[in-house]
Amino acid sequence: MSITSDMLAEMNLLLQFPEASHMNGIKIHQDAPEEAQAAAQRLHDKGFIDRADGGYLTDAGIELHEHLRVLQSALK
């Protein structure tokens, strides 16, 4: 399975969440690129973030975020 452009957009959005504290969220504004807005909606639909416009990582989102950070570090 290849990484699709939608998956890449979702991963990039997840990596924007602060690494140091899961008590901080992000906000996707209405003037954000459509790709970011759509990625946020998909992540919300999948249960990784608590709001369709960003918000906070869910427990599943925190776990995924940690895995993405490991992958990002390994590929650097």
Q: Where are the domains of the chain?
A: 5-16+34-75
Could you tell me if 9 and 39 are in contact, meaning their C-beta atoms sit under 8 angstroms apart? yes
Give the pTM.
0.91
Summarize pLDDT for 21-31 with one digit per residue, the tens: 778 899 999 99
Q: Is 26 helix (H, G, I), strand (E, B) or coil?
A: strand
Query: What CA–CA distance (Å, rounded) separates 18 from 35?
Result: 20
Query: What CA–CA distance (Å, rounded) separates 13 from 10?
Result: 5
Q: For the chain, how far is it from start to end, CA to CA, in angstroms? A: 22
Which secondary-structure segment (H or E) carries 7? helix 5-14
Summarize pLDDT for 36-45 with one digit per residue, the tens: 999 999 999 9
| Phi, psi (rounded to 5 degrees) for 27 | -125, 125
